A and B are shown apart, each in its own frame.
Chain A
Amino acid sequence: MNVPDYTPALVVAIPLLGAFLTPLVSRIHDKVRNGFVIVVLALNAFLIGLLASDVFTNGIKTYVFGGAQDITLPIVRILFEVDGMSMFMAVISAILVLVAVIYSWAFMKENTGLDKYYTLILLMTAGMLGMELTGDMFNFFVFLEITSISSCALIAFWTHKGESVDAGFKYIVISAIAALFVLFAVGLLYAQYDALNIAMLANVLEYTFLDKIALVLLVVALTMKAGIVPMHMWLPDAYGRAPSSVTVALVGVTLASLYGVFRVCFTLYGNVLSKITKQIDFLGNPLTVTVNGTLGFVIILLAIITILFGVIMALRQIDFKRLIAFAAVAELGYMFLGIGTGIAAMGTKHGMTALTGGIFHIINDAVDVGLLFLVAGAIYYATKELSLNHLGGLARNMKYTSIFFIIGLLAVAGMPPMNGFASKLIIYQSTYQLNPILAIIAILSSILLLAVFVKVFYSAFMGPALPKFKAVKEVPRSMLLAMGIFAAIIIVFGFFPQLIVENIVQPAANALLGYTDYITHVIGGI
């Protein structure tokens, strides 16, 4: 159907309007406020679906704020430029936040200060979607700061526990430093080329010394926010001590920062990625060092360290949610491995396949880890215990929760017929062709993750029924509905991966590699 031209602006503006209306609406009644927030997010998800169906079939859409829609040089207004990769990430964010709010209807009911909670979630949604849809570097920085401030306040929401506030403090220190580095890099790029628009910058970028500094600062700062080892210190604390619905939305924030890394590497520096920087003589054989080779090597190295570190630390944990957080770190390494192989082997067929696998793994991992966090939250809601030493025998009382946990376990470990198997198989195949050691490390880590989660399942759900858990009942229906939505997505994506790859993932991968399209759409002819 006919998608109006101003949909990219509405997608960010409607959560913002909802966020400012929530303190006034919440004076009426609690249930009215909950319903209002769900209606705003459902309307937003509907608009994102419309926009996605338009962009995946027709190509890039742009929207100029506050002026006529024809783009003339020099560009002075802020643009939103929506291509396949942006729409892919926006769809993930919309699903994650909608399920988080449905889950928190029952989960957060006994807490006070809930009007601020819903305001902050709507602000975080607006910030995430703005980060993913924008086509301007300084606008990206502003939305990055909006998202990190509101998500920090949400992590520290349980102020009666000292450890949540401590996790929030660590998160805001890391986020503030990362955002200031991004601002410094944006300033460097503006000083040289007098432009802030991503397409304009990508057109005129030559690879001078200051541009190299800007690339390093941007990649380091955005991977610091995305939780790649060795900058991952905040992630287990922040994911493990926040309320579970906030953790699910926080996964969306981490993935949006990861999207920032891709946008910088593939589109902003797209012209220079295939440049040859020097020819060195390595033991008698001539070796050409290209930019994408170096960048790809660094990214693959970080990814391997992330996978190994995440899995090994997950083996030692006793706290339920901290263990799932370390598994999430390992899964971030898988995504990064696919993308790194795509950069290092750019132009070859297995490079394209690796890129597709990495991008497909983003949506799979978001849903899998989200489901596991929701199960952990359900156990905390029912028993007020999170340590694996004190749990046991819960499968008798909480049947549906155990089934959801089995689905999540199989999906995270990459077992068929869940969706994790499809994306991980693509990653194994393509990285094997680059270097066999990478694929072997990836497969071994998957097996270790399966072992970790089977241990968790056995100690939390199986075993003799403990007397203190005799009165534990199944969790309320809204929480079961939220977990059911994720489980349904996992099973559907697992049974029909070819459909998803063709319609959703392949346009995203093509959009990421087609930086000339991105530039031409704004400037019109290089």
Chain B
Amino acid sequence: MIFNIPFIAVIALILIGLYAVVFKRNLIKMVIGITLIGSGVNLFLITLGYRGDSAAPTIAPIYTSSPGGIMSLPVPQALTLTAIVIGVAVLALMLSLVVHIYRHYGTLDVKKIRRGEE
């Protein structure tokens, strides 16, 4: 059961992030929500790399001198790293757009911005 706790954390992070994106009216809170979803998915990718003793023969031989035989797959670590880099780029872009929107409309409230041009 203790090995399932990270997966529960993943579901909690993704649900909180989705709640923030859908129901909050401040633009910065939407950006924080997207970052939370990204963190949840990255945690999921790292957690699924853990294999116990059953995977010992299938992982590359340079790892076989690890003590106890408990090891994790190396591929999800590369996937997570790429996803973190992409998350940083998306975050930088979204924050630059928020700075521009604030300069034009003077407010960060989504309802006021949308009413202005509909």
Which residues of chain A have a CB within 8 Å of any CB of chain B? 138, 142, 145, 149, 152-153, 156, 159, 162-163, 165-166, 168-169, 172-173, 176-177, 179-180, 183-184, 186-187, 190-191, 194, 196
15 contacts between A and B (CB under 8 A): A145-B86, A149-B93, A159-B100, A162-B101, A162-B104, A166-B113, A168-B97, A177-B34, A179-B86, A183-B41, A184-B14, A186-B79, A187-B44, A194-B73, A196-B75
Give Cα distance in the complex from A91 to B93, angstroms. Answer: 30
> Do residues A190 and B94 form an inter-chain contact, with CB atoms below 8 A?
no
Give Cα distance in the complex from A293 to B90, angstroms. Answer: 38
Give Cα distance in the complex from A176 to B93, angstroms. Answer: 11
Chain A nearest CB: distance from B79 CB in Å? 6
Minimum CB distance partner of B18 in chain A: A177
> Do residues B90 and A172 form an inter-chain contact, with CB atoms below 8 A?
yes
Q: Which of B27, B76, B105 contacts A162, CB < 8 Å?
A: B105
Residues of B within 8 A of A138 (CB): 79, 82
CB under 8 Å from chain A, chain B span 6-50: 14, 21, 27, 30, 34, 37-38, 41, 44-45, 48
Residues of A within 8 A of B89 (CB): 149
> Most B CB atoms within 10 A — which of A149, A159, A166, A194?
A166
B71 within 8 A of partner (CB):
no
Give Cα distance in the complex from A177 to B94, angstroms. Answer: 13
Give Cα distance in the complex from A156 to B94, angstroms. Answer: 11
Q: Which of B73, B79, B82, B113 contacts A187, CB < 8 Å?
A: B79
Minimum CB distance partner of B82 in chain A: A142
Q: Which of A169, A176, A194 contacts B27, CB < 8 Å?
A: A169
> Do residues A165 and B100 form an inter-chain contact, with CB atoms below 8 A?
yes
> Do residues B90 and A149 form an inter-chain contact, with CB atoms below 8 A?
yes
Residues of A within 8 A of B27 (CB): 169
Summarize A's interface: helix, strand, loop or mixed: helix
Chain B nearest CB: distance from A374 CB in Å? 24
Residues of B within 8 A of A169 (CB): 27, 94, 97-98, 101
Minimum CB distance partner of B98 in chain A: A169
Chain B nearest CB: distance from A261 CB in Å? 21
B117 within 8 A of partner (CB):
yes
What sequence of 0s and 1s flags, for each residue 100-111 of chain B, a beta carbon within 8 Å of any chain A beta carbon? 110011000000
> Do residues B93 and A190 form an inter-chain contact, with CB atoms below 8 A?
no
B83 within 8 A of partner (CB):
yes
Give Cα distance in the complex from A191 to B55, angstroms. Answer: 13
> Do residues A191 and B48 form an inter-chain contact, with CB atoms below 8 A?
yes
> Do residues B100 and A172 form an inter-chain contact, with CB atoms below 8 A?
no
Residues of B within 8 A of A194 (CB): 73
Q: Quick one: given A149-B89, A180-B38, A187-B79, are A172 and B94 in contact (CB under 8 Å)?
A: yes
Minimum CB distance partner of B105 in chain A: A162
Chain A nearest CB: distance from B53 CB in Å? 17
Give Cα distance in the complex from A138 to B75, angstroms. Answer: 11
Residues of A within 8 A of B44 (CB): 184, 187
Minimum CB distance partner of B103 in chain A: A162
> Do residues A172 and B93 form an inter-chain contact, with CB atoms below 8 A?
yes
